[in-house]
Each structure stands twice: as structure tokens, then as C-alpha cells.
Structure 1
């Protein structure tokens, strides 16, 4: 099927710092003779073909693709013999010999005479795309559901007040307006969380690092909960050892701690314990937030940090299900990591670590 190799064209040997390996999509590039000169790690992972079995060989032999009717796609496309005005081919669904479906696009680089100098093929996993589309549909459905309830309440109370203002006394009006205000806060909170999710997924989180007192931030979060009405004896704080100078984004640290404590209060029970200590494995800090509630089943531990995950009690305990997803994104934006396990008192124990950073990285 493929042509003879031209002996004067050197094979491309992949290296550890090959920039093509940084691409999330599979990439195959063939030279003017149709021989593969680039076959990145994503392409190797999707196809199961090793670099040694691809580089230097004819691309049609390396990557035999067929359409849904079983036709050889390369014979139908005829990349090197077709019209010289072609510059690219739109994405379409094609199949490997084992039936694995890929989404394939292709493009050309031509010389002054219109001959193909390089033929590039981009591969995407069709199953991954389908999962993404399902996730988007779930996102739209969940957001619509979360918005409907408070907006219905706001509409109902405002319509009632406008139509029957004189029939209510001041106390009744106050109760209805306080409900409207609380529902408006709920909508604002959801929109804020969705914007955070968007920034995390797009890699557009802006970090404004400065020296942060992690223990002080934890105490501030606890004080805020107590001021909002939680009993003071619900919380226990421990600071263990001396921390290095921590260069972090204070607003995001406050958001991380606030979400973890909120999660422990909302879904847990008993005492909520916050521990701040040096990271024993590398220079930095470790923060643990644990409760004494039902905990998280081991089989659910991998799903905790996904969008719209609900803890025990689900919708009955409120929340949008975005908090822990955002926490993970903010921790990782600091170069840290977060885990969850069963705590010593049976509840959930979240532990995150963040490196100390340095002034050089401060924005």
C-alpha cells in the first residue's frame, strides 16, 4: 500500500523534550515522500502504535483508516495526488483496523508548484469527545435546575408584592424581601462558581502571590463561621510546627479554606478540625480539614472533585456541587495537590499541600 522509502530522508527520532508530545491531540506528520516524520505521544496512546513502528514508514501503512462503510480512507482522499488547491480536510469520524473510532482532520503545506511538502493528520478520541458533550449537556441541565428554583421564588415574591403591596404589614414585607435577597445571593454565588469553573478549565486563573499566614487565614475562616451563627465549640484549630515563608494568593487560599470548612459543616457532623503544619515531604505547608460525620464511601473518593458531585444528603443539604471541583483547581494552580480519605473519627478528611513558592513568582 505504501511507497518505497527514500534513503536520503533521515528518520525523526523522538526525544524526551519533543514539543509535539505536549499537544493534547494526536499528531502524525508525513514528508513530501509520504514518510512519517512526527508521531507524537498522544497519537501513540490512541493507536497503540510505537514510535519505532511509525517513524520512517509510509503514513498509509502506519495508520490505515476506514470510513463507516469500510472504505480505505487514504485511497478515497488521495492526499498526494489530489487537487493542488486543497489546504485542509474538515473533521470526520474514521476507524482503525480494530474498530476504534477517531475524529480526524488533515492539512497540507505545499511548495510553489503546489506539491505537498508536509501532510499533517490530527487525531482526537471520539469516546473522549462524546464524554465531553455529555458533560456539557449535564452542565446545562444542572445549571438550569439550580437557577430555576431561586428565580421562581424571586419572581413569585416580587409579583405578589407589586400586586398586593398594601395588603401586607411591614413584617410580612420584610420576610418576603429577605427571601428575595437570599435567593438573589444564591444566583450570584452560582454564577461566580461557574465563572471560576470556566477559568479553571481554560487555564486562565490569575495568581496574585504575596506572603500569607496560613494559620491566620484558617482562624479568620473559623471566626467568620462563628460570626454567621455557627457555635464556637463546633470548630477546633491546631497549628503544628513552624511554616516556611508562604507565597500564595490570599483570596484563593481564603476560598479554598472557606469551601472545605463549608463542606465539612454542611455534609459532616461533630467537631470540624483544621490542622495547619509543615509539609513533611517537601518545603511547603499541609492543611487538613476533617469532620466526624458519615464520611465519603471509598468508591466515591475518585468522584468527589468532579463537577456537581453531591455528598451524603445530596440536594437536601443545598450547595451547587461545584465547591470541591473549584478547590482542587485552586490548589493545583498553586502547584499543590489535594486528597480525601476517611478521618480518624469516621468523617471525611481533606488534606491539601502547597509549596512555599518564592517572591520571584509573585505577580
Structure 2
């Protein structure tokens, strides 16, 4: 198997380089064909890597970058004011063919702006979209956009649907069912952009468009790809994560109330823990920027070691499936 090379922006995220280095070394141990380049402050990263005896330095490089983009910086400042940031340098490795993907837990707006500037979009795509796998009753659903594009035209929603369908196929879904997230399933429901996008999708050749879907339909597994603007998608994603955490905490609290509850909990908790682990956001961390001429995966800023590992794994899958190439091969036909 040929090597996969991923550039890691090691300076982003809430937990900093230590967590990212630990996740990177764990991924190297799990995947013999993987090579990683950690980009950031060289002396700091060297010190952190030296603390892990299992680090395979033959497959782990460190590349210096003097600047760091803060989580609260404006994208315009990151784009113009920090030419030697760890984020930009990591993206430039992808642009120059020295890496096949970039993974970052840094500032989302800055990562999107830099990705568009450094890698450019595929022909026919106005804006990249963030997509991630959402657990459903029957498996997983690809949800996009997750926050990269707060306001979207009908044409952009159509482009998201095409990209989401191709991404789902790359992940093993034979004929992905594509739906538009809406406030109802009737044709008259929704704002103008959603209704216009539905008209475009109904006439699309080679796309399995199944109509409007409501939020509960997403979790029932009624579609394999669900499309919305970034404003709605980001709220849905964060609300889902918060709900999952709250439900898990409520269940644990219930099983601690009284002797009978604790006895019942002793029996039920192992199964509930298994379900909780399967649905944990960390297992599904990693949102891809679809529509770029290269692979970029955004890890949640609050992701820990396990979560960042998931983001690297998502990038690895997209490399193996040559996702940008597959997108480019189908976009010309589907976007006519």
C-alpha cells in the first residue's frame, strides 16, 4: 500500500499541541502506511514528541511555522497578516504536493478563507461546504453545510447536494438519497432559497433527490445526504451534541437515585455506555471542506485526543478514496 501523507496544523484547538501530538502518534501506530507532518513552533513540538517513546520519527516530521492564528481572529487578518502561520503552511504543503490532506482544529473562518485562497475551489463550485457524518437510527447521514456558508443561494444548495452525494458514494453508499432540510415536507413549505433549490434538484440527472426532510427525519435515517445552509446546519449540529450529552447525564443521574435505581443501573449501564460511546461526538469528529482542489478536514476545536484521531482518520479515508478527484470527475456532468 502506498503512503498517505497528511499535514497537521499542530497549533490550533482548545487543548493545544500536546493533545494533537498525542493523537498524531496514536494514528501513526494504528496505520503503518501513514506519514504525518506536524506544522507549528518547532522547539515546542520537538519537546512534546520526545516525550513519546513510541513515536516513529521515520514517519513523523516537524516543520516550523513562526505564527499562530488565534481562535478569535478575523479571517481577513489571518489571510493577509500571517503569511507564516501553521495553518497556512500546512495548506501550502497540500497545494505543493508535499501532503495529500490537511487537518486543523483551528479557527474555522480562517481555515475556510485560507483553504479557498491557497487551494482554490473545483470548477463549477462557488463555495466549499463543511460536511460531517451524523449518527442516525439506521447508520449515518452526511450533513452539509455545517457553518462555512451562513447565507446560501439556491444554486449553492444545489452544488452542496451534488458534492454530498459524491462524498456519500465514496464512503460506500451505492445510490445516496439526497434531501433538503426544511420546516415541512410539503412543496409549499420553506423559504425561497430552499424551494428554488428543490426545483433545481428535481431536474438533476444522476442524483437521487427524495425531497424535503424535517429534523426528525434526519435521525430516522430517511436520507443519506441532508443539505441546508450553514446557519441552520451549525445550530443543528451543536444542538445535537448538547442533547446527546444532556441525555447521557440524565440517565446516569437517574440510576444513582435510591437502591433500586442503582441495582437497575448496574445491569443497564454497560449497555448504555456502549450506546453512548457509539454516539459520542468524538467518534464522528472531523468535518470535510468539500469543493476544494485538495483535502481539508476541520476538527472540532474542543476535540480531545480521540476526537482529533477521528479527524485524521476521516482525512485518511478521503485520501484513499481520492475524493477531490471523484468530485472533479462528476461535477462537470452534474452541474451542467
Aligning the two structures, in what range does the TM-score lie when normalised by the shorter sequence?
Answer: under 0.3
Instruction: Specify which structure has the higher proportion of helix.
Output: 2
TM-score by length of 1: 0.24
TM-score by length of 2: 0.25
RCO (CA 8 Å, sep 6+): is it higher in 1 or 2?
Answer: 2
Bigger Rg, structure 1 or 2? 1
